[in-house]
Chains A and B, each alone.
Chain A
Amino acid sequence: MQILSLSSLTKTFGGLVAVAGVSCGVDRGAVVGLIGPNGAGKTTVFNLITGSIKPDDGHIFFSGHSIRGLRPHRIVKLGIARTFQTIRLFQGLSALENVLSGCHCRMRSGLVASLLRLPGQRREERLVIDRAMGELEFVGLANLWRATAGSLAYGDQRRLEIARALATEPKLLILDEPAGGMNEQETYELRQLIEAIRKRDITVLLIEHDMGFVMSVCDRVLVMENGILIAQGTPQEIQTNPKVIEAYLGLDDD
């Protein structure tokens, strides 16, 4: 069953067609990679799914609902969480608070309860801090809960971003170049982490340039070039697909 499906999704920026009629689906529980040369429109697709930008045409269905045109916070609440290509943590806040930002959409305390610190609000605070610590523990950062996000090592920041996204209790997790800038050890650990996320019954959609990583972690791979989906299939199929080889051959692309 498909948790996410895109149909003839199109987005142009001025004269540039960033995404040209992309149609595809993501199976529930799968780890799907989206690859392609720089400028292929991968991140634009992510931004369209998460509501950061609005499509010119086409449809996006998530768990059977159309989410086209919804604002990002509504989409998060429906169960899609993301990380960013360039790390976008709340740099000045602690690791714990960063994860608490993800918990926000699953909390209920409103203005009055917060202003008067009502018992229900306090109970919720305790529960949610516990849950946030659980997510930090999940990514292996529990001992750094008090550290300022900006002071963390690069790989830890990437993981903190994942913990923050997981705290929104997503059904679909979207990772934009999670291994970007990571060394071999960190990439290995990330692979383990994605396996663990999959075991929590969370579907993963990721953009990545590290082909070894994509081929080893993904069940299916989607390939984009110039805003068009040129191929999709299992990693083996993709590796032997002539169109994909052509798109990548001779390209000075990392």
Chain B
Amino acid sequence: MSPDLPSSSLPAAPDANRVDGANGATGANGGGAGSNLLPGALTGLAALLFAFLPLFLNAFAGSSAPYWLDVVNTVGLYTILALSLNVILGHAGMFHMGHAAFFAIGAYATAILNLSYGWSIIATMPVAALAAGAVALVLAWPIIHLRGDYLLIVTIGIVEIVRIALTNNIFGLTGGSNGLVGIARPSVFGFRITRPQHFFYFIWIVVGLTMLLFHWLENSRFGRALKFIKEDTVAAENMGVNTSRYKLMAFVVGAAWAGLAGTIFASRMRTISPESFVFSESVLLFTIVILGGKGSQKGVLLGSFLVMGLPEFFRGFEDKRLLVFGAALVVMMIFRPQGLLPSKPARYRLPDPWPGKLSGAPAAEPVTANGKRAQNGAAATGAAGALSEPSGPQGSDPQSPGPQGPGA
């Protein structure tokens, strides 16, 4: 496999695929796509440079290169986890602080299937995801209607229950507090992933895929439904969104993806034990999403680097670095509660001065909607100008063909 090729499109991929369109300052005309190419190209360049990171590290970091690569891999793994939590916390707005539980279920599913049944690591991946998703479904079913702080407390309970169950060697499968040892390495198309630079490409390709898929998910009927729920659950329900079902689905999708990250974790560490999945891991993930910006992929990426990567630079201060970290969080929440890189509004590719659907649609019977706002004076230039009678700015008589009834 040629790792740097696919990875070059990693974090860039979501941007390249963004539903682009005029998004500049309000009032700007539907600009050319050119104005949106620059950020996309920059992200692509950054991703390309990032793909060469192992080489840079080898060249400049010398003997500590594998260590720093491991740090970057940890950041990648937590990015996957935080992106999955982002679906639940960022998009659906559910306060879930038990994400480590589903991470653990995925990791243990992989470990058990690999050690006891000899499955290959990659084959365990979908099972790990399904197992985490299934447990999430069962656990979240009765609690999904809980709001805010109440849900938070219950999810803390979940992560504790899972950890204690693992420690007590549940079903005799989890190896108790010693955990499970000797998990195999993954191999992709016959290529065995063993060294940090292998894992670098493996993990960051998964990060890129996750970003792409979740970006698509965000900008779809499903993602919008979550957004409506987050904004106003009552209004969403009254507009026809099955709010409890969508909340549950968001929870299950997020959990399943955490399970998938568990597979990577298990095969990277080769040894897993309950202490890898304690409550503070959940808090860390929660922090990444909140710090970076709820609902924002770039924010989550940045948050992962800050929370998981930055402290490594201050190893020398050992315990004091957590103090600084805590203080930084407090300051952040006071001055930038929306996160470092808050999510941006979705973009839709539409002409900004809307020309009207005068052509196309089978001529609907003209309906008088007198509330019709002044058709922007410039609309005369619109393509539909031929059909529209440009109405005066304050016109109270514009005839606007409404859409047909239901089904137009």
Contact = CB atoms under 8 A, between A and B. Distances in A.
Interface stretch (A4-12, A111-119, A228-236, A239-247): A111-119
Nearest to A110: B222
Nearest to A189: B371
Contacts of B370: 140, 188-189, 192-193
Nearest to B360: A130
- In this complex, the interface size class of chain A, counting residues with CB under 8 Å from chain B, is 35 or more
Contact of B371 (A97, A134, A193): A193
A144 interface: yes
Contacts of B373: 140-144
B239 A164 contact: yes
B368 to A, nearest CB: 6
Nearest to B213: A115
B315 to A, nearest CB: 39
A128 to B, nearest CB: 8
A90 B232 contact: yes
Of B223, B238, B241, B367, chain A has the most CB atoms within 10 Å of the CB of B238
A224 interface: no
Contacts of B249: 111
Contacts of B231: 90-93
A89 B241 CA distance: 14
B407 interface: yes
A139 B356 contact: no
A114 B216 contact: yes
Contact of B368 (A101, A139, A148, A195): A195
Interface string B343-354: 001101010111
Contacts of A148: 345
Contacts of B243: 73
Contacts of A200: 367, 402, 404-406
Given A88-B232, A104-B224, A107-B221, A145 B368 contact: no
A140 B371 contact: yes
Interface string B380-408: 00000000000000001000101111111
A140 B372 contact: yes
Contacts of B406: 169, 200
A138 B367 contact: yes
Given A109-B222, A111-B222, A137 B237 contact: no
Given A125-B220, A134-B357, A200-B405, 20 more contacts: A73-B241, A73-B243, A81-B240, A82-B238, A84-B235, A91-B231, A93-B227, A93-B228, A104-B225, A111-B222, A115-B217, A129-B348, A129-B350, A133-B354, A134-B408, A138-B367, A138-B402, A140-B372, A142-B373, A192-B369
Interface of A: 50, 52, 71-73, 76-77, 81-82, 84, 88-94, 96-97, 100-102, 104-105, 107, 109-111, 113-117, 121, 124-125, 129-131, 133-148, 159, 164-165, 168-169, 188-190, 192-193, 195-196, 199-202
9 contacts: A73-B242, A76-B240, A88-B234, A96-B350, A114-B223, A116-B213, A129-B350, A137-B356, A193-B370
